[in-house]
Amino acid sequence: MTARLTGKARTTALASLKGWKKVPKRDAIAKRFRFADFNQAWGFMTRVALAAEKADHHPEWSNVYNRVEITLSTHDAGGLSAKDVALAKFIDSIA
C-alpha cells in the first residue's frame, strides 16, 4: 500500500508543483491544460496514459476539444501520495 503524504513532506512536495490546485473537500490536486486543438490534447493524453500505465497509477481526467482537466489522488492511500507528485511532474514536463 502506498503511504499518504503528510506534514512537512506533503508541504514540500506540493510546493514543488506549479499550477496544481487542491481540490475542495478531497485530498487531491487538479490542473487544467489547454492546447491548440483536439489533436494536441489527445496526443498529450496518450503520453500521460502510457506513463500512468507504466507506473500503475491512473489519473482522473476529462477532455473537451482542446482542454484536458486532470485530478490526481492515490485511492489506496486515501489521498495524495508521492505517486501523485511524480505523475504531476511528468505531466508538467510534457505539457
Q: Give the pLDDT confidence of 27-84 residue by residue, as tens digits.
A: 999 999 999 999 999 999 999 999 999 999 999 999 999 999 999 999 999 999 999 9
Q: What are the domain boundaries of the chain?
A: 7-94
| Whether pLDDT at 85 is above 90 | yes
* Fold (topology level) of 7-94: Gyrase A; domain 2 (3.30.1360)
pLDDT confidence bin for 94, thresholds 50/70/90: very high
Which residues are bridge partners to 64 per DSSP? Answer: 67
Name the DSSP class of 26.
S
Residue type, position 2, single letter: T
Residue type, position 37, single letter: D
3-class state of residue 83 by DSSP: helix
pLDDT confidence bin for 1, thresholds 50/70/90: confident
d(CA 28, CA 21): 8
